[in-house]
């Protein structure tokens, strides 16, 4: 088995390799924001069996099924990946401001009518 840290994954099969590309978010402490990240787990296929081959991660996320490629050359094999990136910055209140604060109505204010 393998751990997959993201919210959802895509599986790519290419010749003798299967790549699981798991998309998630990574917190960037220095910037105070999150960025998209893709975690890769690769398995080499050999007949009816498989074995772990590579594990890694890249910034960004894959756009579609053409975003990944597996290449075998005499100097080694590697996975090529094309990604795009977006960031998410959480809302942080400025001094004196509130988030989701007061609507301006006092708790005891209620409209009553006498009959």
- Sequence-distant (6+) residues with CB within 8 A of 95 are none
Count how many residues are written for the chain: 115
Tokens of 48: 């009816």
Other C-beta atoms closer than 10 Å to the C-beta of 111 total: 4
CB distance 42 to 79 below 8 Å: yes
Q: What is the pLDDT of residue 91?
A: 62
CA–chain centroid gap for 102, Å, is 34
Residue 50 three-state SS: strand
**pLDDT tens per residue across all 115 residues of the chain:** 566 666 677 888 888 888 888 888 888 788 788 888 888 888 989 888 989 888 888 888 888 778 888 888 888 888 888 888 776 666 655 666 555 554 444 444 444 455 5
CB distance 61 to 67 below 8 Å: no
Q: Which candidate, 16, 14, 53, 58, places its Cα nearest to that of 39?
A: 58
Q: What is the pLDDT of residue 36?
A: 86
pTM of the predicted model as reported, rounded to 2 decimal places:
0.64
């Amino acid at each position: 088995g393998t751990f997959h840290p993201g919210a959802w994954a895509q599986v790519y099969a290419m010749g003798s390799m299967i790549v699981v590309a798991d998309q998630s978010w990574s917190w960037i402490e220095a910037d105070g924001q999150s960025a998209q990240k893709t975690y890769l787990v690769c398995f080499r296929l050999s007949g009816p069996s498989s074995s772990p081959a590579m594990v890694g991660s890249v910034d960004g996320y894959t756009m579609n099924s053409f975003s990944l490629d597996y290449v075998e050359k005499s100097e080694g094999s590697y996975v090529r990946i094309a990604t795009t990136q977006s960031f998410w910055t959480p809302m942080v209140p400025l001094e004196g401001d509130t988030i989701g604060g007061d609507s301006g109505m006092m708790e005891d204010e209620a409209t009553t009518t006498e009959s």
